[in-house]
């Protein structure tokens, strides 16, 4: 059996890799899972509806997500605000803001991507609930969080939505509403 002697600099590098290895493996696993899920799972996006309920095409319709908040560990409160999501290359993209009070250092801002098939949108427009997935990437350090959820339509262009955001520390679940339109409240 052979042993490897490490100098001070090498020992520090190996120690650093060993200490962050668990976090690195977890992040890589999450990243692979997200990319696999984006290729397989249907998500929310809009296109020209088959019914008369929609009057604009996917390029001009936006997806609006209502603000939401939920209780999290240690008597904290997490609030989610999502900017209007724009249809781009088969995805809805925009920004999100996650505020955690009183633990402000856990708050983050980033970009949000939700992908969908035409079939998933048709299901929503005909009143069938769908499961979706996506990803949230922080602006500060580029960390990727998996976004899972379920959209349950109440009409062809609006309904309720549950978002589960998988962070490093927990799974945070938000219940709110969505609607398709050209401006908020339409």
Q: Is the pTM of this model over 0.75?
A: no
Residue 154 lies in a domain: yes
Residue 19 lies in a domain: no
Residue 165 lies in a domain: yes
Residue 4 lies in a domain: no
Which distant-in-sequence residues (6+ apart) come within 8 Å of 89 by Cβ? none
Residue 12 lies in a domain: no
Which distant-in-sequence residues (6+ apart) come within 8 Å of 47 by Cβ? 57, 58, 87, 118, 121
Query: Over 50: is that where the pLDDT of 21 sits?
Result: no
Which candidate, 178, 184, 175, 165, places its Cα nearest to that of 45? 178
Q: Does residue 156 or residue 117 have the better pLDDT?
A: 156
Region 82-102: what's the mean pLDDT?
89
pLDDT band at 129 (very low <50, low <70, confident <90, very high): very high
What CATH number is associated with residue 109? 2.40.160
Region 75-103: what's the mean pLDDT?
91
Domain count of the fold of the chain: 1
Q: Does residue 118 or residue 126 have the better pLDDT?
A: 126
Domain that includes residue 135, residue range: 38-181
Region 92-97: what's the mean pLDDT?
93
Residue 26 lies in a domain: no
Residue 81 lies in a domain: yes
Q: Does residue 105 or residue 48 have the better pLDDT?
A: 105
pLDDT of residue 176: 97
Half-sphere exposure of 158 (CA within 13 A, CB side): 11
Residue 17 lies in a domain: no
Average pLDDT taken over every residue of the chain: 73
């Amino acid at each position: 059996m052979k042993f490897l002697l490490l100098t001070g600099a090498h020992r520090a590098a190996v120690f650093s890799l060993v200490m962050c290895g668990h976090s690195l493996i977890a992040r890589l696993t999450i990243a692979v899972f997200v990319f696999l899920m984006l290729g397989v799972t249907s998500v929310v996006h809009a296109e020209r509806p088959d019914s008369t309920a929609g009057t604009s095409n996917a390029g001009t319709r936006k997806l609006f997500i209502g603000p939401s908040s939920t209780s999290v560990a240690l008597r904290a409160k997490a609030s989610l605000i999502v900017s209007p999501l724009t249809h781009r290359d088969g995805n809805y993209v925009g920004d999100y803001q996650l505020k955690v009070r009183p633990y402000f250092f856990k708050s983050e801002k980033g970009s949000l991507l939700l992908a969908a098939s035409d079939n998933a949108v048709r299901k929503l427009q005909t009143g069938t609930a769908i499961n979706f997935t996506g990803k949230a990437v922080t602006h500060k350090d580029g960390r990727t969080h998996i976004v899972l959820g379920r959209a349950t339509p109440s009409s062809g262009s609006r309904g309720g939505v549950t978002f589960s955001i998988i962070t490093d520390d927990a799974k945070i679940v938000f219940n709110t509403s969505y609607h398709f339109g050209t401006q908020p409240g339409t």
